[in-house]
Chains A and B, each alone.
Chain A
Amino acid sequence: MEKEEIKLNPAITRELGLKLLYQMILIRRFEEKSAELYTKEKIRGFLHLYIGEEAVAVGTMHSLTDEDNILSTYREHGHALARGLDPGSIMAEMYGKQEGCSMGRGGSMHLFDASKRFFGGNAIVGGHLPMAVGMALASKKQGLNNITSCFFGEGAIAEGEFHESMNLAALWGVPVLFLCENNLYGMGTALRFSHSVQDLEKKGAAYGVESAKTNGMDVLEVKNAVEKAIAYIKSTGKPYFLVCNTYRFRAHSMFDAQLYREKTEVDEWKKRDPILTFSNQLLQNELISRDDIDTIENKVSAEIQKAVDFAEAGTFEPVEDLKKFVYSP
């Protein structure tokens, strides 16, 4: 890895490098702390960690604007953090506290923040795809020039709703970015056991949707690919299907013996850890120094401790409020 001399394109400044690196490390440490707190029973329910896929969230969110809509899946902490949701409000949400970003009502799989146009994690595989098409449809009808980006894994591509949504989006010509995080495993089923055609990006052609794939382990490649996609959407008003090939270093969720894959495969992919590779690139191009990395690590651990303290200090909603949020007042 060290030997390869990777020339960065000149557009990468020190400041951008530090920002992207900071966000990826923040996600990584946040997920590690979540795992720890889960084993200590502070976080319950399902917990799906994003470790290994940081480059996709950071690369994508960097290119989206505040007006763009985002719909995510249950493996959403990386998306939420990269989108700018406050780490404390996410941690409090996983503690089930009412100070959480969804008032404690949603938990790890259902983070919401209307102010950031973050329309939640959806725990039904592919369930949010039709909604993304609808939101883009509304933008088109109201003449807004924002786009709607929805994240999903390669497992969702086998759902009927993927087919219906791609067709509707193409048919109606609406500005939606279908962003697939292909981490090779739909829970315990490897790609080759669920898809007749494994080059997933090829599926877009069937609907006349512009499609591409990119290296989901490299934040800059993801950033460039997403910028290309957004430019296409903005200029044509048409949907775009981008497949980011990436890999999750951890189990599907906390209680998973990972019988479906070999440890050697995991170690192999770890060599392409998005944080390691990117920090090496920045170091080799003298954009940052080792100290910069230490400063980032210290700032991140302080930020995470603050988030945990915020969650610990949070309060539980009184049970009398149980029936709130079913209908509008």
Chain B
Amino acid sequence: MTDKTTLKITYREALKQGMHEALITNDKVFLMGEDVGRYGGAFAVSKGFLEEFGEDRIMDVPLSESGFVGAGIGAALAGMRPIVEVMTVNFSLLALDQIINNAATLLHMSGGQINVPVVIRMNSGIGNQLAAQHSHSWEPFYAHIPGLKIVSAGTHEDARGMLLTALESPDPVVIFEYTSLLNMESEIPSSSGAVDIDKAKIRREGKDLSIITYGPGVYKALAAAEILASSGIDVEIIDLRVLNPIDNETIINSVAKTHKVLIVEEAWRSVSISSEIISRIMENAFFSLDAPVERLCGIEVPIPYPKHLEDASIPQKQDIVDSALKMIQND
């Protein structure tokens, strides 16, 4: 009988426990990133690790994203299992050449001889008025690259377990974590550990409308679902979790059941994850559709500094409720 007790924990704490477990179970695993050691991590996720594991396994790196991400890839080539922390996805643009031209491509160019078992963690998303250069949502860009597995930790359970499974993968995995969730508390089973990184997950069963989302969209959609339930609308919530390769099956089965889809994401609307999901629904579940697929995405503007504008630039809980009502009432 699994242990039924649960644990009230912040998203940050869940990330920390996951990484701690990884460092203990495999001595080839080491963490490298800006301010991960002495500073305890830009978001205090690796606080105390330097004291516990020492400089050799908790490496502070200079501000050379291309350099240290490339070095992480090199170390993975030569037998180590590095966790490369890029402080935020906003700084990862400098390391894209290493990530795309080396990590994602070496297996193919070498005709299958060379594996790159590197895990790259990046804090992402919007929140706390960090303005345009510090509030990017680059999931769609990374999800476009064959050779990279892209996962999005939208819940505490995934924050706790995705890293462990990613470290088993022979291929490069990029994990998106979210600043806006760090301080949020939630219940998770105290026995929770590694989780799969292949499938989407139905976070709430429902029959009237399928809401497909990822990242911070998950908890917002769940909150919206409670409000909708009180007006008799039963929505199904799909947490994509894996943005490449995408789990078509879960999506198609849900559409076949509800016949209506609302997609929610914070990234900019054009050429986004929602664009890809809509294409796949059109290709595989066209005859299950009773209405056009709707979507709520980031407004196409560099994220503004003032709070009221920042909040208006991405879908909020109430937007999800309003859209769902419009789609159902219309029926």
Residues of A within 8 A of B (CB): 69, 98, 100-106, 110, 112-114, 119-120, 122, 124, 127-139, 141-142, 148, 160-161, 164-165, 167-168, 171-172, 324-328
Contact = CB atoms under 8 A, between A and B. Distances in A.
Given A130-B98, A168-B64, A328-B171, A112 B114 contact: yes
Contacts of A122: 101-102
The 10 closest A-B pairs by CB, nearest first: A134-B74, A130-B70, A103-B111, A164-B67, A131-B74, A134-B71, A112-B110, A164-B64, A138-B78, A134-B75
Interface in B27-70: 30, 56, 59, 61-62, 64, 66-70
B59 to A, nearest CB: 8
Given A134-B77, A138-B74, A138-B78, A168 B110 contact: no
Nearest to B104: A326
B198 to A, nearest CB: 11
A135 B147 contact: no
B74 A161 contact: no
A119 B66 contact: no
Interface in B146-198: 146-147, 149, 169-171
A15 B119 CA distance: 48
Nearest to B74: A134
Given A130-B69, A165-B67, A112 B109 contact: yes
Given A130-B73, A141-B30, A161-B70, 19 more contacts: A114-B110, A114-B114, A120-B106, A124-B101, A127-B70, A130-B66, A130-B67, A130-B71, A134-B72, A141-B80, A142-B79, A148-B74, A164-B67, A167-B62, A168-B64, A171-B62, A325-B110, A326-B146, A328-B107
Contact of B112 (A103, A128, A131, A138): A103
Interface residues of B, number: 42
Given A135-B78, A328-B171, A120 B109 contact: yes
Given A130-B71, A141-B80, A326-B107, A102 B113 contact: yes
A326 B108 contact: yes
Tell me which of A135, A136, A167 has the highest count of chain B C-beta atoms within 10 A of its own C-beta.
A135
A102 to B, nearest CB: 4
A124 B97 contact: yes
Nearest to A130: B70
A69 B107 contact: no
Interface of B: 30, 56, 59, 61-62, 64, 66-80, 82, 97-98, 101-102, 106-115, 146-147, 149, 169-171
Nearest to A107: B109
Contacts of B76: 134
A102 B112 CA distance: 8
Nearest to A106: B109
Contacts of A134: 70-78, 82
A106 B69 CA distance: 23
A69 B114 CA distance: 13
A122 to B, nearest CB: 8
A327 B67 contact: no
Given A127-B101, A141-B80, A112 B111 contact: yes
A327 B149 contact: yes
A42 B30 CA distance: 46
B71 A137 contact: yes
A113 B113 CA distance: 7
B171 A106 contact: no
Contact of B74 (A102, A120, A132, A167): A132
Contacts of B114: 112, 114, 119-120
B108 A138 contact: no
Given A113-B113, A114-B113, A168 B73 contact: no
Nearest to A113: B113
B197 to A, nearest CB: 12
Given A127-B98, A161-B67, A106 B74 contact: no
Contact of A133 (B70, B112, B146, B171): B70
Contact of B79 (A138, A148, A167, A325): A138
Nearest to B70: A130
Contacts of B64: 164, 167-168
A16 to B, nearest CB: 31
B77 A105 contact: no
13 contacts: A103-B112, A105-B109, A122-B102, A130-B66, A130-B73, A131-B73, A131-B74, A134-B71, A138-B74, A141-B80, A164-B64, A164-B68, A165-B71
A137 to B, nearest CB: 5
A34 B272 CA distance: 45
A103 B113 CA distance: 9
Contacts of B80: 137-138, 141-142
Contacts of B79: 138, 142
A133 B74 contact: yes
A69 B111 CA distance: 18
A100 B78 contact: no
A314 to B, nearest CB: 13
A138 B66 contact: no
B30 A130 contact: no
Contacts of B97: 124, 127
B71 A168 contact: yes
A131 to B, nearest CB: 4
